[in-house]
Amino acid sequence: MRIAVLLSAGRHRVSAHPAPVPVELQAIRLAAELGGETFGLHAGPAIGPLHDTLGHGLPRLTHLRLAENDDPAPSLADALREGAFDLVLAGRSGQGGEDAGLLPYALARTLGLPIVADAVALAEGPQPGTLRVEQALPRGARRRLVIRLPALVTVHPAAPAPLPFAFAAARRGDVETRPGIAAACAPSEMEERPYRPRPKLIAKAAGGASAAERLKAATESASGGGKLLVEPTPDNAARAILAHLREIGVLA
**CA atoms of 130 and 230, how far apart (whole Å):** 24
Cβ-proximal residues to 87 (8 Å cutoff; 6+ apart), any chain: 1, 2, 3, 4, 31, 34, 131, 149, 150, 151, 152, 153
Region 95-121 average pLDDT: 88
**pLDDT per residue over 116-130, tens digit each?**
999 999 999 999 999
**pLDDT per residue over 154-177, tens digit each?**
999 999 999 999 999 989 999 999
**CA atoms of 11 and 159, how far apart (whole Å):** 20
Query: What spatial distance separates the first Cα and last Cα of the chain, rounded to whole Å?
Result: 52
The amino acid sitting at 122 is L
Decide: 45 and 61 in contact? Cβ < 8 Å: no
**CA atoms of 124 and 31, how far apart (whole Å):** 11
Which range, of 95-109, 127-141, 186-200, averages the lowest pLDDT?
186-200
Q: What is the DSSP secondary-structure string of 142-210? A: EEEEEEESSEEEEE-TTSPPPPPP-HHHHHH-EEEEEE----BPPPP--------PPPPPBPPPPTT--
**pLDDT per residue over 15-34, tens digit each?**
888 889 999 999 999 999 99
Instruction: Identify which has the larger pLDDT, 112 or 213.
Output: 112
Phi, psi of 64 (to 5 degrees): -95, 105
Residue 224 pLDDT exceeds 60: no
C-alpha distances (whole Å) from 120 to each of 30, 54, 136, 151, 198 are: 8, 21, 6, 16, 31
**pLDDT per residue over 180-218, tens digit each?**
888 877 666 777 788 788 766 555 555 666 777 767 666
- Mean pLDDT score of the chain, rounded to an integer? 86
CATH class of 2-179: alpha beta
pLDDT, position 226: 66
**pLDDT per residue over 36-70, tens digit each?**
899 999 998 888 889 899 999 999 999 999 988 88
Residue 225 pLDDT exceeds 70: no
Range from 150-154, 178-182, 219-223 that averages highest in pLDDT: 150-154
Sorting pLDDT into bands at 50, 70 and 90, what band is 11?
A: confident
pLDDT, position 68: 82
Q: Is the peptide bond before 18 cis (omega within 30 degrees of 0)?
A: no
Helix count and strand count (H, E) for the chain = 6, 11
Domain boundaries, the chain: 2-179
